[in-house]
Amino acid sequence: MTNSSYCSSYFCLRPYLSERDIPINLLCFQVFANGNEQLISRTWLLDPVKTQVSAAIMQDGPNEPWNGEFYHSFGTCSGERAWDDAVKYGFICGGGDAWYSRTLQLLDPGDRVRVKIPGPGFVGLGRVTDRAQRDRDFMVNTPEGEVRFSEVPRNGHYHQQFADDEEKSEYSVPVHRLQTIPASQAIQEIGMFGNQNTVCKPTTPKWRSTVERLKTHFPAHNKN
């Protein structure tokens, strides 16, 4: 297939696919001559944030009505994040690359989020109080008042080496804790839901069954 026929087919299919929230995109390249040198530029046809958000909403297998709760994967690999920090200061987060942080944009104030640490299991439920914020701008409450999160004592690193990089920086979402447990007591049972996206909007039967099982471990989840 030639480039022109490929693009033509893509543009014909894109409205049909995008209307059904299928995450498809096209990376376009242009070559420019500068004397004896050639420069290549690239750009996405669609905003990559929107296509990843579609991917975060899509699930494999049969779908069912969404129950109104989001799933968050709180990665603690290599000491970048610490669940104790999240509980103390009230937030969830993601970063190190735009792929890990952009799905946090799915969350709006008032949304309910069930949190899972990959490996150990589910550790709580919270309600979002504000939109995602870049780590260097994120403020947390302390006994002395509001302080920048980067300036308070904390156990995680939160990609501080990327503080000045908009794409790789850590992003945080303020969350009011409805009920949490320590990572050492995390709930993980065979068949429980999991997803590689930092945030997703599950619509699979496995999510419904996971939520029902979690309610037995987190009684407060039934009251908020």
The tens digit of pLDDT for each residue in 209-223 reads 999 999 998 876 665
pLDDT over threshold 50, residue 20: no
**What are the chain's domains?**
3-44 (no CATH), 48-222 (3.10.590)
Interval 50-62 mean pLDDT: 54
CB 201 within 8 A of CB 57: yes
For the CA atoms of the chain, what is the radius of gyration?
A: 20
Closest CA to 131 of 154, 97, 108, 152: 108
CB 198 within 8 A of CB 129: no
pLDDT, tens digit, 9 for 90 and up, residues 99-155: 999 999 999 999 999 999 999 999 999 999 999 999 999 999 999 999 999 999 999
Q: What is the pLDDT of residue 219?
A: 78
Q: What is the pLDDT of residue 17?
A: 47
Q: What is the pLDDT of residue 87?
A: 97
For the whole model, what pTM was predicted? 0.75
Spatial separation of the C-alpha atoms in residues 146 and 142, rounded to whole Å: 6
Q: How many CB atoms within 10 Å of residue 187? A: 18
